[in-house]
Chain A
């Protein structure tokens, strides 16, 4: 079974500041990793995913994430945030074999202050 932990439930930052949203996972098998974003009153939207290859993955809206297998982490970063990045961010994993289900973390609410 897999589990995902997002260490921060809320992260407030000032506009144009850098941000890192932390995600750690636990799994007995290899996994694919994802970050989803949920803007207010909208559905979940894929930001980026790691399947294989380079451990640094770039996504939409200037976000990137780095897969660290030894630390079982997949932290999300953006060098300079904008007011429009205010949203809930979800880290998720899915196992390489068998199960078709995404296992989500509890989410991190990112609030950008002017």
Chain B
């Protein structure tokens, strides 16, 4: 069964360092998303991406964040200069069509900023 895969599963970094989280969406999907969950809090929307551009982003998704689909298979989330409050589980998701079509989520990448 096709699935969304994310790497790394866990990354520890120092405050101020750049981090790239990688995702391989399901191959025929056209819409891509990043969500995050800070420990003990709700899963929050970060950004959606379609046709090689951001279609929607939340207030959380400031200039420190960027997304890219560099090669037609990977979908990356970059945090330019990490802060302590960026520590969270980051989930990648993809869908064939716009919501309410089903989103398929990856297992998540846990980011710990020290």
Contacts and interface: CB of A to CB of B under 8 A. Distances in A.
Interface of A: 32, 34, 36, 41-46, 49, 51, 90, 92, 94, 99-107
Contacts, number: 56
B104 to A, nearest CB: 8
Contacts of A51: 100
Interface of B: 3-4, 31, 33, 35, 41-45, 48, 55-56, 58, 91, 93, 98-100, 102-108
A106 B100 contact: no
B42 A106 contact: yes
A43 B42 contact: no
Contact of B45 (A45, A103, A105): A103
B107 A102 contact: no
Contacts of B33: 101
B106 A43 contact: yes
Contacts of A105: 42
Contacts of B56: 99-101
Contacts of A36: 105
Contacts of A43: 3-4, 91, 104-108
Given A43-B4, A44-B91, A51-B100, A102 B45 contact: yes
A86 B108 CA distance: 19
B103 A107 contact: no
Given A44-B43, A44-B91, A45-B105, 19 more contacts: A32-B100, A42-B107, A43-B4, A43-B91, A43-B107, A44-B93, A46-B102, A49-B100, A49-B102, A51-B100, A92-B43, A94-B100, A100-B56, A100-B99, A101-B48, A101-B56, A102-B99, A103-B45, A104-B44
17 contacts: A32-B99, A34-B100, A41-B107, A43-B91, A43-B105, A43-B107, A44-B91, A44-B103, A51-B100, A92-B43, A94-B100, A100-B31, A100-B48, A101-B58, A104-B43, A104-B44, A105-B42
Contacts of B108: 43
Nearest to A6: B42
